[in-house]
Amino acid sequence: MKRQTLGRYVCAVKALVPPATRLLLLRAAGVVDLDLWEHVMQVPVLRCGLETHDGPHWTLLYEAADSTCCWLRWEDGSPTGRVAALPECPASLDASTPCELFRMHPGGHTWEVTDPDDELWNAVMPVFCEMYGAGHRGPVKRAEDVDADLD
Ligand SMILES: [Zn+2]
Ligand SMILES: [Zn+2]
């Protein structure tokens, strides 16, 4: 469980840049990868990873085999953006918790901010568990198990 600072949130604005555009932007940035389309399609929804802020949003778009990270920068509501290869943020909370953003990023490091979706999930999970009889601490059931229970 990551340590997080209360009251500080991830921006989490979603990018409206479609997969085909992301592919073209990566190609234009010089990324050569035969499986690029698969990589792009693995992440259907891109969200800004910075702490809540004004101005352009940033998300990790692609990490090459040599761990070069290509970041997508976009403006609110724009269907396109720009891709830049940026070095990693050198900060880390401890040996197993590096910051997942880029060097010189604005706002807090990843362990200093809360993902609003995690908070929402933690709020609704007990309700789901109750509905499916798993108890608050029980593992979340897979869809097949739930279907079997309903038979
Ligand atoms: Zn943002
Ligand atoms: Zn950082």
**Can you give the pLDDT at residue 105?**
97
**Can you give the pLDDT at residue 67?**
77
| 8 Å CB contact between 57 and 51 | no
C-alpha of residue 135 to centroid of ligand 2, in Å: 37
**Can you give the pLDDT at residue 1?**
47
**What pTM value is reported for the model?**
0.77
C-alpha of residue 51 to centroid of ligand 1, in Å: 7
SS3 call for 102: strand
Query: Relative to the alpha carbon of 107, which ligand is closest?
Result: 2
**Can you give the pLDDT at residue 126?**
85
SS3 call for 147: helix
C-alpha of residue 145 to centroid of ligand 2, in Å: 40
Residues 91-135: tens digit of each pLDDT? 999 999 999 999 999 999 999 999 888 878 888 888 888 888 755
C-alpha of residue 89 to centroid of ligand 2, in Å: 5
Query: Relative to the alpha carbon of 90, which ligand is closest?
Result: 2
Cα 22 to the center of its chain, rounded Å: 16
Question: How many Cβ atoms from other residues are within 10 Å of residue 71's Cβ?
Answer: 20
C-alpha of residue 87 to centroid of ligand 1, in Å: 19
- For 52, 65, 78, 95, the CA distances from 32, given in Å and listed in that order, are 33, 11, 25, 32
Structure tokens at 113: 């901010």
Residues 6+ apart with CB under 8 A from 14: 45, 46, 47, 48
**Can you give the pLDDT at residue 146?**
55
Residues of the chain with pLDDT under 50: 1
- For 84, 92, 95, 98, the CA distances from 71, given in Å and listed in that order, are 5, 19, 24, 17
